[in-house]
Structure 1
């Protein structure tokens, strides 16, 4: 073999090695996805007729009165009418706080005030308790779940955790409905589940937890039970052009970042805060 041919071969090998090295560097593996949160019944409560969760907003003080989140249609005074917002109404409602397994009740929490409830644009209710976050942590070693301040993401892996049934549903965020209509009520930008979350009566008010962050992104509120069109227990979707779509056996939740932005220091509701996107009452007094 000639010396010239050896040189050509060496150059080819060296060049291939260089290209391979560059390709390997440019094809470095993507950073690993953040670990998922193991969702259980920590912070979950059972109501007499619904489910709920012990929640707090980012920046809340441990000395603030704790809050419980559920649906507006779970309000003990009855379902708020279309267009109705209820604020700052005295309440002595009780909630059973579950342990992390959901098999045992740690204690009973009691409300002092129903801070906010509505079924207009959304379906949420928020109660202020007689105990602080620190007192609950000290008595039951149970932290509150954190409310997300961000809009949920399509495709997110989620858990719907029912304190009433002591059951966890697993699915994903299928997408968002421009409007969901059920009987007299209309809800905006509702979170739609993939079919795996076959929620049932009693799961109303269950927190929807984003597995990636561990934060509450919604409150479970309805499912189309039998294929009906925009009737009670048979919600439909309405798009920007008024077109109606019925999705039998598909469930929905109402996003909670719109309410989380309303919570001010001291566990009070201030609908004038930036990021507060829920309907306002005509006055702060109970209506």
Structure 2
């Protein structure tokens, strides 16, 4: 399922809750610091390792949280005034509202990401909200078996599980995503968790939650399938997935601006 909220949704869910992992999973200590809620999705304020305090801050979410994009569509530097509710602490208390000036980058081709540039720098947000800190973006590939937490700002819920493995190609309807993260079953993410950061034991964002197979369908909307390098198709009903982000900081240059011509940048253009 592409996990944004679409239309009416049952809301009998706990707020500020934690969806626990099985006993074999290591319990991490992520909270809602740096997490945001969108109108239909989740997200986070993220900081590439090379960013400065004086750079405009970035909010990371899914491409499909902007809209259901074409299979090869890429959005660059599109004006936006979208707002985000900034959360904090163990219970996801609201600190205030952040506002975008543009969509710096968004796509559903090869991956499923969006980055909004805000109208304030990291330092200015910190000045407004002393408890704020952004999530640092990882620059190394996630590790199989690693304990992770998926932090949803929309539902104020934290899911704990492990990285079960990686998918050569994840296909859903017209979209194909490469080298996706597959969760163990404890991360039973739902609509509204789209765009949630996946946080590892270092406290860094290593991936971004985006979909899962709801009904056991084969490569259809709401029912992604796994395709191996040899073309074998596997369907895992009830299992959910995320898209890696370790390669994205290489595409972000001076002033937190996306530059797809930078060395090492592999994002679709």
Using structure 1 for the length normalisation, give the TM-score.
Answer: 0.83
- After superposition, residues 153-172 of structure 1 pair within 5 angstroms as 153-172=143-162
Give 3-state SS (helix, strand or coil) of 2:242's partner. Answer: strand
Which of structure 1's runs of 4+ aligned residues deviate more than 4 A?
A: none
- After superposition, residues 95-174 of structure 1 pair within 5 angstroms as 95-141=84-130, 142-174=132-164
The answer to whether 1:248 aligns with 2:252 is no
**Residue 176 to residue 80, structure 1, CA distance change in 2 (3 Å):** same
Q: From 211, 231, 238, give the equivalent of 2:220.
A: 231
- After superposition, residues 189-204 of structure 1 pair within 5 angstroms as 189-204=179-194
1:257: which partner in 2? 246
Distance 2:140 2:266 in 1: 12
Over the residues paired in the alignment, what is the CA RMSD in angstroms? 1.3
Using structure 2 for the length normalisation, give the TM-score.
Answer: 0.88
Listed as ranges, the gaps of 5+ residues in structure 1 are 1-34, 281-287
**Residue 268 to residue 74, structure 1, CA distance change in 2 (3 Å):** same
1:55: which partner in 2? 46
Distance 2:92 2:143 in 1: 31
Q: Is the contact made by 1:80 and 1:86 (CA closer than 8 Å) also made in structure 2?
A: no
1:72: which partner in 2? 63
CA-to-partner distance for each residue in 1:167-187, whole Å, 9 max, x for gaps? 000000011000000000000
Q: Is the contact made by 1:80 and 1:117 (CA closer than 8 Å) also made in structure 2?
A: no
How far apart are 1:37 and its partner, in Å? 5.8
How far apart are 1:260 and its partner, in Å? 2.1
Listed as ranges, the gaps of 5+ residues in structure 2 are 1-25
Which is further off, 261-270 or 39-48? 261-270
CA-to-partner distance for each residue in 1:73-114, whole Å, 9 max, x for gaps? 001xx2210011110000000000012134421010000010
Distance 2:254 2:204 in 1: 19
Q: Which structure has the highest helix share of the two?
A: 1
Q: From 183, 187, 202, give the equivalent of 2:173.
A: 183
2:262: which partner in 1? 273
Give 3-state SS (helix, strand or coil) of 1:266's partner. Answer: helix
Give 3-state SS (helix, strand or coil) of 1:88's partner. Answer: strand
Distance 1:55 1:103 in 2: 17
Distance 1:158 1:208 in 2: 6
The answer to whether 1:84 aligns with 2:62 is no
How far apart are 1:243 and its partner, in Å? 1.1
Give 3-state SS (helix, strand or coil) of 1:232's partner. Answer: coil
CA-to-partner distance for each residue in 1:131-171, whole Å, 9 max, x for gaps? 00001111112010000011111111100000000000000
Larger radius of gyration: 1
Q: Is the contact made by 2:27 and 2:160 (CA closer than 8 Å) also made in structure 1?
A: no
CA-to-partner distance for each residue in 1:4-62, whole Å, 9 max, x for gaps? xxxxxxxxxxxxxxxxxxxxxxxxxxxxxxx9862100000000000000000112110
Distance 2:99 2:91 in 1: 19
